[in-house]
Structure 1
């Protein structure tokens, strides 16, 4: 039986990957925009992709923000989806949900003004982006 340790390791690795993937599905379901906001997020995706690229190239932003945005661009360029399209709601919307979550964290770190400065779309589109990501609900920076 000791000759099959690699089979146990392989089964353990597959199980760990499956649990991680299921955790990702649960997180995406929790952070997804609610109601019509998800449809709106998918409609804004082309402008949001240009925004992410511009923010990632802005050297004035903190390095952690640019790294996060760069990883997001790599994820979006990857040809395989982490969430298959046959999964209801999340299958087709996983990219929009992940972009929304990353933009929320970018605004918390870099501020809404940086996002506004680089927004390539219309004012209505930015207002929709603010609703979707909760940018208009960000707390003011805390002082010392």
Structure 2
């Protein structure tokens, strides 16, 4: 098996773990400190804003390659095993079936970003006097 295939498998596993963390932080059986940490990890992983901007050569991707997997590993250790096992199972089931909500949510998010960009252009033009 080539490196690319191993990398794809690793990325797929990380994605599944992130979804399991998302489910676990919403589970009331998860301790508060683990819920907070898992929520921060999931939010950071899906956030378009990084600690180190991606355009910076090499360093820009270090947070994605080191911080996110490290955060996942730490969060997994904080969650009770029974809760994590159940959440992983639910994450696998969700991955097997298509989720049209995620497509609709993506359209809504893109629409909001486009509206905000249009508002920024409008306000800039208004204040600059174009």
Return the TM-score normalized by structure 1. 0.46
Return the TM-score normalized by structure 2. 0.50
| Higher helix content, 1 or 2 | 2
